[in-house]
């Protein structure tokens, strides 16, 4: 089990001023921020990042949402980073997420669900290198 994962604090969270609250929660859960950037995803970046969902009916809306405003992307470190972040995030649909999870507390809908987290160690590695050079992880 690798100790790194990758997160996006999604546009709805940034728009509502929830970035600080979400980072505070992640730090309280033992995650250390190794890399952090604020950026506005381009159409190309969003399409490529969510490429596995290209054939899904919600893909176009997902890309529109993810490019609707700035996001924060971060590389996080902690023991069992990938499964632990998924647990702290909660279910994809905030209405089905457990109490106390980030999506329960900050998500709007199954689409506008506050945060992304890698779903495997391999994807964590790929997603971190999509946005960060190794020298930017400190």
Catalytic residues: 116
Q: Which two tokens stand for residue 109?
A: 């809908």
Site mask for ligand ATP (CB under 6 A), range 36-75, x = bound: -----------------x----x---x-------------
Return the residue of 30, 111, 120, 121 that touches ligand ATP, per CB under 6 A.
111
CA–CA dist 17, 35 (Å, integer): 20
Interaction residues for ligand ATP, span 10-39 (CB under 6 A): none
| Backbone dihedral region for residue 11 (phi beyond 0: left; psi -120 to 50: alpha; all else: beta) | alpha
119 binds ligand ATP (CB under 6 A): yes
Phi/psi for 6 (5° steps) reads: -130, 140
Phi/psi for 75 (5° steps) reads: -100, 125
- The binder of 58, among Mg ion, ligand ATP, none, by C-beta within 5 to 8 A per type, is ligand ATP
């Amino acid at each position: 089990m690798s100790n790194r994962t990758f997160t996006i604090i999604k546009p709805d969270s940034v728009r509502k001023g929830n970035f600080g609250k979400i980072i505070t929660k992640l730090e309280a859960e033992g995650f250390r921020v190794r890399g952090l950037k604020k950026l506005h995803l381009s159409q190309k970046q969003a399409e490529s990042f969510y490429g596995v969902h290209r054939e899904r009916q919600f893909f176009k809306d997902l890309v529109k949402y993810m490019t609707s405003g700035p996001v924060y992307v971060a590389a996080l470190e902690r023991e069992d980073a990938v499964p632990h972040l998924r647990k702290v995030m909660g279910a994809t649909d905030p209405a089905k997420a457990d109490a106390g999870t980030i999506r329960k507390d900050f998500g709007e809908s199954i689409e506008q669900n506050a945060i992304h987290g890698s779903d495997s160690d391999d994807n964590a590695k790929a997603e971190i290198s999509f946005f960060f050079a190794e020298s930017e992880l400190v």
